[in-house]
């Protein structure tokens, strides 16, 4: 049994190890695109703000949280066996995952406003009320919530297990039924359900307007926004929904339903949201796939030229000086 668990841990380690570097390269490429076309992509396109925040949170998590998870999967023990490390690691992981999920949730609702009420969203007042304020709430609510209940628990005491991922998790998840249920249902379950229903509803509304010959949506202008959100939402539903659904059922009914599957697989596949997110975003950016192919060709050519060994020819001139010439 121990050998099977070690083999599973090694597979998890290998998959994360081989995917994190390409994902980080893709992150940097997308950041460069946003910076290069800042006015077009950010200043005049507020619908991209949440996408940029998602990418930023994902990037920070990849360079700070995921390396510690990779270390754990390789050595079956947390990087530092101290109370402070575990409490900070748990806080950051809970925060990053929940912030990302809630950003996608609000993005799914916000897209309805940008697509079907585009003129309204161009006014400053509505943009502040329905865009900037919700985005700020998504970015600030969960860090404060988890800071309060992970760093300063009131109904239990954090006891860390250094041989378990994230040191076993915060104590309120196990010993505070009310808070644990609220966390699963409100912070995870509700955003997941909104994502499930809000995104197909966009397509239904477009088809309804077309059938009833109402004011048509300018598909050519909104296509990128719809496709981009659809793939991001699908990514979160595929890799996070199983954990949320099983976790909510376990919390509500107090059963060990699919406990081993949840611990061994559902908690793990969430990492691939971060690994795949930049590829989903880059696929929806205009002409970036061609630029990425060109960049890969330049890198390949550079590596080939850098590792190529050239033969040399030695010549002697009239003044008896020896000259070495590389033959290409």
pLDDT by position in tens, the chain (length 328): 457 788 889 999 999 999 999 999 999 989 998 998 888 888 888 989 999 999 999 999 999 999 999 999 999 999 999 999 999 999 999 999 999 999 999 999 999 998 888 888 889 999 999 999 999 999 999 999 999 999 999 889 999 999 999 999 999 988 898 999 999 999 999 999 999 999 999 888 888 877 776 665 566 557 778 888 889 999 999 999 999 988 888 877 766 777 788 888 899 999 999 999 999 988 877 666 666 667 667 777 777 775 555 554 455 555 555 454 444 5
Q: Kindly provide the residue ranges of all beta strands, DSSP E only, lying in 58-140, ordered along the sequence.
A: none
Q: Which pLDDT does position 215 carry in this prediction?
A: 60
Q: Are 110 and 50 in contact (CB under 8 A)?
A: yes
Q: Are 89 and 64 in contact (CB under 8 A)?
A: no
How far lies 81's CA from each of 77, 78, 86, 160, in Å? 8, 6, 8, 9
Place of tokens 């009914």: 253
Per-domain residue ranges of the chain: 4-306
**4-306 is classed in which CATH architecture?**
Up-down Bundle (1.20)
Whole-angstrom Cα distance, residue 127 to residue 132?
A: 7
Whole-angstrom Cα distance, residue 328 to residue 321?
A: 22
Q: Kindly provide the residue ranges of all beta strands, DSSP E only, lying in the chain, ordered along the sequence.
A: 312-316, 322-326
Q: Which pLDDT does position 326 carry in this prediction?
A: 47
Whole-angstrom Cα distance, residue 12 to residue 308?
A: 35
How far lies 77's CA from each of 85, 171, 270, in Å? 13, 19, 20
Q: Burial level of 307, CB count in 10 A (0-12/13-18/19+)?
A: exposed
Whole-angstrom Cα distance, residue 320 to residue 72?
A: 64
Q: Which pLDDT does position 284 carry in this prediction?
A: 77
Q: Which pLDDT does position 229 carry in this prediction?
A: 86
Q: Which pLDDT does position 90 carry in this prediction?
A: 96
């Amino acid at each position: 049994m121990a050998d099977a668990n070690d083999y599973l841990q090694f597979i998890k380690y290998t998959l994360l190890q081989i995917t994190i570097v390409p994902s980080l390269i893709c992150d940097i490429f997308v950041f460069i695109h946003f910076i290069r076309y800042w006015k077009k992509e950010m200043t005049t396109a507020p619908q991209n703000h949440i996408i940029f925040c998602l990418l930023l949170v994902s990037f920070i998590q990849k360079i700070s949280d995921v390396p510690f998870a990779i270390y754990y999967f390789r050595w079956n023990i947390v990087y530092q066996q101290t109370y402070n490390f575990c409490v900070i690691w748990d806080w950051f992981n809970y925060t990053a995952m929940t912030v990302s999920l809630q950003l996608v949730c609000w993005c799914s609702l916000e897209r309805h406003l940008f697509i079907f009420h585009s003129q309204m969203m161009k006014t400053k007042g509505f943009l502040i009320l329905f865009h900037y304020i919700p985005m700020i709430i998504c970015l600030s609510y969960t860090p404060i919530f988890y800071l309060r209940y992970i760093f300063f628990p009131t109904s239990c005491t954090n006891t860390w297990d250094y041989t378990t991922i994230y040191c076993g998790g915060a104590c309120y998840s196990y010993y505070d039924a009310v808070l644990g249920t609220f966390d699963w249902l409100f912070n995870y379950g509700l955003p997941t359900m909104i994502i499930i229903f809000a995104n197909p509803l966009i397509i239904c509304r477009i088809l309804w307007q077309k059938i009833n010959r109402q004011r048509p949506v300018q598909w050519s202008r909104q296509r990128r926004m719809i496709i981009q959100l659809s793939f991001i939402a699908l990514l979160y539903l595929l890799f996070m929904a199983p954990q949320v659904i099983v976790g909510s059922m376990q919390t509500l009914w107090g059963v060990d339903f699919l406990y081993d599957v949840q611990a061994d697989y559902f908690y793990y596949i969430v990492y691939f949201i971060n690994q795949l997110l930049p590829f989903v975003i880059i696929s929806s950016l205009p002409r970036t796939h061609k630029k990425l192919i060109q960049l890969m060709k330049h890198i390949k050519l550079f590596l080939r030229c850098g590792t190529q060994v050239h033969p040399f020819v030695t010549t002697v001139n009239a003044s008896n000086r020896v000259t070495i010439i590389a033959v290409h």
